[in-house]
Structures are given as structure tokens and as C-alpha cells.
């Protein structure tokens, strides 16, 4: 069974450009989460989908970030326009049930560098 897949694995863009990150969760997982780790600091929650609905987007830093989850399957996270402080590793995770159980799985992350 395929795990959580994120694409691209790396992205280098110039300040002001747009980048779209993609996450394919494990098939059948209703819950999908986006997290971000900036410069080796703590991992921070961005948002949580249940199927196609945004359950909690309180961690989204500002309106330059837009997340979608088409048909409750894959999700995209768009940053437009990108700023230098957006650099970091963006993780996606999915779970069928409660996140704090062993059911949650992370993707390998997308390393975003804004120059």
C-alpha cells in the first residue's frame, strides 16, 4: 500500500513567485493535515481537512497561503506570492481516525526555498 506522497520533494523559487505543493494521502484516509518546519525549529500545524472540508485552518500564517482538497482525495497548498520567510519543509500527514493514535502517517516533506 502506498504511503503519503508529496510532490515536489524540493522547490526553489524567487520571492514573489507562486508555488503549489501537492499531497496524496493514503487511500481511504479522511483526515489530512499540513504542517511546516521552518529553519530547524518546531513543526507547526497549518490546517486540517476532513474529506474535502477544512476542519481547522487556524495555523495558516496569512492569506498568501491557500489549501484545497479536491473531492476529498489529494490536497494542494499554494503560496502566492512567496516570501523569504516561507522557506521551510512542508509536511503532509493523513489518518483515518484520531491523529494521536498510530494511524497517522507523514509524507517525506517538500523543502521550499524562497530566494
Partner 1 sequence: DQQVKQNSPSLSVQEGRISILNCDYTNSMFDYFLWYKKYPAEGPTFLISISSIKDKNEDGRFTVFLNKSAKHLSLHIVPSQPGDSAVYFCAAKRDSNYQLIWGAGTKLIIKP
Q: Does 1 bind partner 1 (CB under 8 A)?
A: no
CB 35 within 8 Å of CB 60: no
- Using rule CB under 8 A, residue 58 touches partner 1: yes
Smallest distance, partner 1 to C-beta of residue 33, A: 7
Residue 108 within binding range of partner 1, rule CB under 8 A: yes
Cell numbers given for 13? 523559487
Binding of residue 20 to partner 1 (CB under 8 A): no
Please give the backbone phi and psi of residue 17, each rounded to the nearest 5 degrees, phi first. -80, 175
* Separation between Cα atoms, residue 99 and residue 78, nearest integer Å: 24
Handedness of CA 14, 69, 31, 3 (dihedral sign): negative
- Return the number of the residue (5 or 17) whose C-beta is nearest partner 1: 5
User: Residue 47: which of 67, 26, 17 has the closest Cα?
Assistant: 67
Is there binding between residue 33 and partner 1 (CB under 8 A)? yes
Check residue 109 for interaction with partner 1 (CB under 8 A): yes
Binding site for partner 1 (CB under 8 A): 4, 9, 31, 33, 35, 40-45, 48, 55-56, 58-59, 91, 93, 98-102, 104-109
Amino acid at each position: 500500500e502506498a504511503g503519503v506522497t508529496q510532490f515536489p520533494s524540493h522547490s526553489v523559487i524567487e520571492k514573489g513567485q507562486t508555488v503549489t505543493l501537492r499531497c496524496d494521502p493514503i487511500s481511504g484516509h479522511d483526515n489530512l493535515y499540513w504542517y511546516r518546519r521552518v529553519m530547524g525549529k518546531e513543526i507547526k500545524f497549518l490546517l486540517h481537512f476532513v474529506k474535502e472540508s477544512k476542519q481547522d485552518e487556524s495555523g495558516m500564517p496569512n492569506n498568501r497561503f491557500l489549501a484545497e482538497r479536491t473531492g476529498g482525495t489529494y490536497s494542494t497548498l499554494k503560496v502566492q506570492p512567496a516570501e523569504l520567510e516561507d522557506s521551510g519543509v512542508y509536511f503532509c500527514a493523513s489518518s483515518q481516525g484520531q491523529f494521536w493514535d498510530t494511524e497517522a502517517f507523514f509524507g517525506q516533506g517538500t523543502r521550499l526555498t524562497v530566494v
